[in-house]
């Protein structure tokens, strides 16, 4: 691998401005270099903004779902051909699953041995920031190579902070100080930030703002101190000559790019379609990701595609869905009123104004399913505001060791050869091999 340059943008906590800094640096460097973006954690929305800014698909790095090997492989594959890699962290630098470092920004930084730029909210503090930096820099073996102050005040305020760091013997340089700029914030909705395609981010303004207030040359110097790990990439052992329909539109848009990569490397042809506006293409299996079906329930209900997908399911076609797809594959979805959905799975869903589940999951497959054989342990995550109520005789595939699922610690509703769960998974935790075998079997009937 060529000499890739890389940095990781971390924060002392959530909401300190690391997303603004990360995306701003992607925009600023992207004007002259090929920038490969990454996001720590299971998030889908930030990577969408990254992809729009950089013109290269953003990749998730999650040490819980992917393991250390998965993080290394994804980084190695995605960084090919890039000049700079910019990794956006998640939450606070050391915040992992439970009281461990697993799934934390720090864990990913240590796996890759990548230098970290720490973003700190400077509002209402001066010398206390020195104490904060001292604690963060000495807590673990993470290489904090630079500091960016967000919500900084006057020049005097910035000088007070720098003087305090110097007098405390802290040698980590302040390489930027951003004043408050509400124009560059991204609107939120109940499941997170607005999506990248909603034209709510002025990339040019963001780039100019970052270049004005951050020493980009210092950022490049820090990134240049990265040495890429030497990783031998694994290749799929089995090949499948099948066509997979991928539901991809405004309603179904939460996918890991690694999933598409694995499917393609396994010789699957991916055919993208919209269940709202397109008919079901000629395929051997269907994969529906998460997203916002509740925002498009009227369109999904009115489309003839839901009947076509139901007919395919009744014919035994393998169909796999995650989170939002569960709502669509069920009988109905209640929002302001009740809308008919695909009617494949024996359950109904309704949206609530209360978060129903958020966090990592770990499941054991209790029976064979279209995505895994019995006894498989799969790691993933869940995040939803809906409630799904199943028929009394419904078949549930997953027994959760961690997480909430659909009901009573169970997830993965199955009917015919269709299965959908609240749990999102990553191919590093569970490959698509079993799904592709089922699709090949369906094709050869």
Alpha-carbon gap, residue 185 to 183, rounded angstroms: 6
d(CA 384, CA 422): 8
Q: Classify the C-alpha dihedral 307-313-315-318 as positive or negative.
A: positive
End-to-end CA distance of the chain: 44
Residue 59 to residue 135: CA distance in whole angstroms: 30
As a whole number of angstroms, the distance between CA 320 and CA 284 comes to: 12
**Short-list 374, 365, 375, CA closest to 421:** 365
User: Could you give phi then psi for residue 214, rounded to 5 degrees?
Assistant: -125, 140
**Measured between alpha carbons, how far is residue 40 from residues 95, 368, 409 in Å?**
11, 31, 27
What φ, ψ does residue 215 adopt, rounded to 5°? -80, 90
Distance (Å, rounded) from C-alpha 364 to C-alpha 376?
A: 6
Q: If you ran DSSP here, which 8-state letter would residue 330 be given?
A: S
In the residue annotation, 390 being an active-site residue is answered as: no
Strand order in the sheet with 332-334: 338-340, 332-334, 347-351, 386-390
* CA angle centred on 25, ends 24 and 27, rounded to 5°: 65
Quick count: other Cβ atoms within 10 Å of Cβ 406? 26
Alpha helices in 256-404 (DSSP H): 257-265, 297-302, 305-314, 324-329
Catalytic annotation, pick one of 54, 253, 323, 439: 323
Query: Would you say how long the chain is, in residues?
Result: 445
* Tokens linked to 155: 């020049």
| Rounded Cα–Cα distance for residues 262 and 252 (Å) | 19
Residues marked active site are found at 323
């Amino acid at each position: 691998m060529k000499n890739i340059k890389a940095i990781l943008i971390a924060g002392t906590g959530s909401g300190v401005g690391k997303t603004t800094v990360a995306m701003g640096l992607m925009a600023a460097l992207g004007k002259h270099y090929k920038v490969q973006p990454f996001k720590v954690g299971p998030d889908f929305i930030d990577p969408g903004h990254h992809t729009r800014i950089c013109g290269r698909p953003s990749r998730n790095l999650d040490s819980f779902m992917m393991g250390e090997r998965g993080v290394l492989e994804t980084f190695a594959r995605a960084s090919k051909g890039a000049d700079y890699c910019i990794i956006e962290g998640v939450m606070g630098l050391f915040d992992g699953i439970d009281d461990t470092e697993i799934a934390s920004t720090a864990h990913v930084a240590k796996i890759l041995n990548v230098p970290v730029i720490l973003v700190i909210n400077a509002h209402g503090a001066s010398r206390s920031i020195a104490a904060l930096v001292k604690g963060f820099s000495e807590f673990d073996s993470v290489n904090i190579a630079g500091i960016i102050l967000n919500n900084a005040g006057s020049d005097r305020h910035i000088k007070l902070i720098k003087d305090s760091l110097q007098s405390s013997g802290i040698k980590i340089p302040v390489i930027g100080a951003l004043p408050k700029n509400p124009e560059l914030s991204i609107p939120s909705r109940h499941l997170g930030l607005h999506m990248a395609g909603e034209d709510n981010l002025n990339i040019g303004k963001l780039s100019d703002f970052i270049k004005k207030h951050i020493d980009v040359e210092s950022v490049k110097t820090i990134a240049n101190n990265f040495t890429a790990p030497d990783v031998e990439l694994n290749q799929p052992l089995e090949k499948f000559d099948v066509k997979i329909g991928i539901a991809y539109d405004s309603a179904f848009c939460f996918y890991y790019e690694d999933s598409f990569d694995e499917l393609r490397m396994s010789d699957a042809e991916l055919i993208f379609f919209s269940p709202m506006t397109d008919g079901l293409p000629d395929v051997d299996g269907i994969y529906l990701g998460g997203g916002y079906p509740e925002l498009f329930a009227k369109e999904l209900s009115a489309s003839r595609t839901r009947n076509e997908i139901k007919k395919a399911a009744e014919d035994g076609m393998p169909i796999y869905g995650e989170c939002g797809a569960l709502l669509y594959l069920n009988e109905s979805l209640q929002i302001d009123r009740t809308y008919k959905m695909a009617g494949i799975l024996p359950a109904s869903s309704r949206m609530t104004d209360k978060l129903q589940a958020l966090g990592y999951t770990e499941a054991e497959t209790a029976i064979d399913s279209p995505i895994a054989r019995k006894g498989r342990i799969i790691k993933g995550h869940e995040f939803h505001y809906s409630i799904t109520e199943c028929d009394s005789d419904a078949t549930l595939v997953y027994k959760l060791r961690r997480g909430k699922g659909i009901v009573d610690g169970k997830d993965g509703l199955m009917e015919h050869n269709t299965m959908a769960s609240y749990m999102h998974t990553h191919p590093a935790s569970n490959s698509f091999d079993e799904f592709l075998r089922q699709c090949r079997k369906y094709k050869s009937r």
